[in-house]
Structure 1
Amino acid sequence: MKYASVPLNQNQNGWLKEDLLSTAFPTLVGNTQADWVVVGSGFAGVSFARRLANHDRNLKIILIDAASAAESSSARNSGFIIGLPHNIGSSTAELKKAHSYRSLLQEGINQLTTLIEQQGIECEWENVGKYHCQVDTTQERVLKEYTDNLDTMSEPYQVLEKESLYQKLGTRFYNKGIYTPSAILVNPASLITALANCLPENVTVYNNTPVLEILPGNIAQVVTPYGTIKTAKIMLATNALSRELAPVISKQAAMATFASITAPLNPEQRRRLPAMSSWGLTPVNAIAGATLRYTQDHRFLIRQHVTAALNGRITAAQTYRATQLHQRLFQKIYPQLGDVPLTRTWSGTISVTRNGAPVWGALGKNIYTAGGCNGAGVSKQTIAGTLLADYALGQDHPLIGAMQELGKANYLPPSPILDVAIAASLMKERYLGRKEI
């Protein structure tokens, strides 16, 4: 019998603080039943479970995760909560549906803002905007399309040239950047862990409980290593992982991204930089370029390098190679900080689709999903999970139409054709963005 793959990162999440290392929830042991089972405690799964529970306090909801919220891909991202659509690699698919994306992303931010305030969540939340930067002076198309869409939406922005960027970022590596105020920076591990910890009372959470298979039927059976859950309805919040659990052909692929974080800069090292507050930067080519952050505690985060991870597993050797790459790139961007070491490197998976559209809605009888985040998941997956709960319960919401306007993800071929196609796509993006690193 073929069981579902289980995500595995042979590295430790660099965002984790000591109080998040302990397991907050038990492993499922024994058989049980529920009205709903939600698989995955990332932003989509937690948002979906909360919305279900708030709609009907009599529903018995079980949320299970192969690891925990603190070790999920949601906790391993770069901590950008994006309020505006942007390009992924050389694709500008999101920009072509900018109005729908904007309304969804900003509602996701509104929901998170409310929860932060209501629950008193500490996650280093900073409403500081972000920089979208370019190295190559000969490739203006993506930034031009970006500013054209910002103009169309009447969104404020500021164009910054090299010297102005240096005063903000402490590097002359970038030749041009667009600053937009509609973005928030957080510690993503602190945020998603806190959201999982404050779910309504009719949601029961089990950690370290991977789903091995789902046996369909009017009452489905969700099989885990130490117990089975009988349930009428299921929501898969696994993005492209555990493809074996979905009753349809996959339309999304799992990719791994890698991030490293430095030791905090000491006062002498900080004097080599302009006076800076914390900031976040996304590159014009997210596949080839580097995402950067300067944190509240004077550390640099660098995320660069994307590779296929169709089974969700990343080895220690892959992590080591990413560390070496990040060290070289950090020294290239900040040559004045050659004595600042990287202290941790980790990986996380994103889900990509061929046409940039999400995988959202009913997959079959009584099974639903919200996936295909395409690398911009915090606000997007928060609202996607909320709207999916409304949709599944037949509740009206004005943004369900906006969600459906994003379209449907295109078909993806099976392996080995998919493997070859992904390798070719990554090679193309790295070539197009070769001057961005």
Structure 2
Amino acid sequence: MKIARIPIVDRTNGWSAHLPPRTPRPSLNKDVAVDWVVLGAGYAGLAAARRLAQNCPDQHIGLIDAGAAGENASGRNSGFAIDLPHNVGSSLDELEGSHRFMRLARFSIDQLQDIVRTHNIDCDWSLDGRYHAAVSQRGVKTVLEPYAKELEALGEPFEWLDADAVRAKVGSDHFTAAVFTPGGALMNPAALTRGLADTLPENVTLFEHSPVISANFQNGVHLTTAHGSLRGPKMILAANGYSEQFGFYPNRFLHLAAHGSLTRRLTESEQQAYGVDAPWGLTPANAFAGITMRYTNDRRILIRQGLGYCPSQKVTPATQQRVKRTHKQLFDARFPMLPNVEIEHTWSGIVCLSQNSAPAFGQIAPNIWTAACQNAVGVSKGTFAGTLAADLATEQDNPLIADMFSLGEPSALPPRPFLDLGVRTRFAWELWRNRDEA
């Protein structure tokens, strides 16, 4: 089959712009045979390749990606490894589901932290927790208070912060309240992805800048690029939203564009005016209208806002310029003490969701397994999905596989153009209904 759409990677990613130069691994320029093919070198593919190498030390794993490590969606997120579900229910079944998710997420965070420390990956990895904040009293009542009660039911530690306490922690008086949870991690996601790619076991060969233009799944797996091919008897498909291009999960994935911006570094005098020293991460009570923010170790402020329906999986430069202007306005409203701080980088990343928030995981053909559709929590979800897909494919006895299957599978979507109309209408309604959280 011909591949109709491949990722388009620009050079706008602010997370990687300040990193030291890196030489990507060579592209696929000849015919290569391996024991295992892993398609996609994001968090899921990197985790799957690493686990396959551990489970099958005498076998050769070929990992192939259309771009360079850290430059695709995996290096463009907000840099949170989240250990808690965004929305926790209060019934016993929902609470048990939350416990299963937390087991998976904490398994992946522990695994990533071990790799970071073992290989001295310089990615600003820190266990600084997360503030989940509301702007309006309505957000406090409908999101934060129920969230706090459910954290109590789960036995999870948290701290309730009023407006003054939030201001002291994040340097902005824009928020009415927040719930702080100490778990999870913050990092530079581009640096983390680079580090994971550059420390793969010796029996993994990574091919970067190698977009697949055709695929054949008869008599094994045969992927063709412009200058070579990759063959193997078995494959783990970890191409996230692009997995549907290979004939799997048709009409199951929603493609969204998320936009982020990083300021330039604060000067010494600006940092003193700002008044906050410690790095922090904040997620909004409402993901549609609210803003995700970070204060980094090198004194930059991240603004991530603007989640749009993007079935083409492409974002134009004009859209990014418009987003940059919007982000500057949002920054000025939240940090009026920093009027001269400019936005230095604005970029976009393509997010894959399912209608029912379920992952694409499991065996999808006699010789193909998948770890895709991370539902906007790629660092932790991608890592545990890829690891467990490798364990499933190599018949390892891992009890977390049952937890993974308990998350369900993506439900079918309405056909286009009805889907487009429905998604855009839902987005407009969510933005209007939650406008007080902007």
**Structures share a fold, TM > 0.5?**
yes
CA pair 145-153 structure 1, distance change in 2 beyond 3 A: same
- Cross-structure match for 1:112: 112
- Cross-structure match for 2:29: 29
- Stretch moving more, 177-186 or 78-87: 78-87
- Cross-structure match for 1:57: 57
Query: Are 1:358 and 2:359 an aligned pair?
Result: yes
* Deviation of the 1:169 alpha carbon: 0.9
8 Å CA contact 1:241, 1:254 repeated in 2: no
CA distance in 2, matches of 1:168, 1:103: 29
8 Å CA contact 1:246, 1:363 repeated in 2: no
8 Å CA contact 1:73, 1:348 repeated in 2: yes
CA distance in 2, matches of 1:427, 1:11: 30
- Cross-structure match for 2:386: 385
* CA displacement 1:350-402 (0-9 Å, x = unmatched): 11111111111122232221122111111121111111111111111011111
User: What pairs up with 1:260-279 in 2 under 5 angstroms?
Assistant: 260-279=261-280
- Cross-structure match for 2:86: 86
User: What pairs up with 1:278-289 in 2 under 5 angstroms?
Assistant: 278-289=279-290
- Cross-structure match for 1:243: 244
Runs of 4+ deviating beyond 6 Å = 93-96
CA distance in 1, matches of 2:348, 2:94: 25
8 Å CA contact 1:87, 1:94 repeated in 2: no
- Cross-structure match for 2:302: 301
Paired residue type of 2:345:
R
- Cross-structure match for 1:345: 346
- Cross-structure match for 1:73: 73
Secondary structure of the 1:138 match is helix
CA distance in 1, matches of 2:167, 2:28: 52
CA pair 250-60 structure 1, distance change in 2 beyond 3 A: farther
User: What pairs up with 1:109-188 in 2 under 5 angstroms?
Assistant: 109-139=109-139, 140-188=141-189
CA distance in 2, matches of 1:138, 1:17: 38
- Cross-structure match for 1:38: 38
TM (norm. structure 2) is: 0.95
8 Å CA contact 2:24, 2:69 repeated in 1: no
* CA displacement 1:408-434 (0-9 Å, x = unmatched): 221123432322222122222212321
Paired residue type of 1:53:
A
* Deviation of the 1:2 alpha carbon: 4.8
Aligned residues: 433
Secondary structure of the 1:3 match is coil
Secondary structure of the 1:123 match is coil
CA pair 350-21 structure 1, distance change in 2 beyond 3 A: farther
Paired residue type of 2:122:
E
User: What pairs up with 1:401-420 in 2 under 5 angstroms?
Assistant: 401-420=402-421
User: What pairs up with 1:320-339 in 2 under 5 angstroms?
Assistant: 320-339=321-340
CA pair 323-87 structure 1, distance change in 2 beyond 3 A: farther
* Deviation of the 1:95 alpha carbon: 7.1
* CA displacement 1:58-100 (0-9 Å, x = unmatched): 2221111100112121111111111111149xxxx98782111
CA distance in 2, matches of 1:329, 1:354: 29
Secondary structure of the 2:283 match is strand
CA distance in 1, matches of 2:403, 2:20: 36
Paired residue type of 2:112:
L
CA distance in 2, matches of 1:402, 1:315: 39
User: What pairs up with 1:418-433 in 2 under 5 angstroms?
Assistant: 418-433=419-434
* CA displacement 1:318-362 (0-9 Å, x = unmatched): 111110110111111112211110001011111111111111112
Unmatched runs of 5 consecutive residues or more in structure 1? none
CA pair 233-310 structure 1, distance change in 2 beyond 3 A: farther
CA pair 97-125 structure 1, distance change in 2 beyond 3 A: same
- Cross-structure match for 1:316: 317
Secondary structure of the 2:146 match is helix
Secondary structure of the 2:259 match is strand
* Deviation of the 1:175 alpha carbon: 0.3
Secondary structure of the 1:374 match is coil
* CA displacement 1:39-67 (0-9 Å, x = unmatched): 11111000000000111112221111100
Paired residue type of 1:365:
P
Secondary structure of the 2:320 match is helix
* CA displacement 1:286-327 (0-9 Å, x = unmatched): 122100001111110000001122232111111111101101
8 Å CA contact 1:45, 1:237 repeated in 2: yes
Unmatched runs of 5 consecutive residues or more in structure 2? none
CA distance in 1, matches of 2:411, 2:78: 27
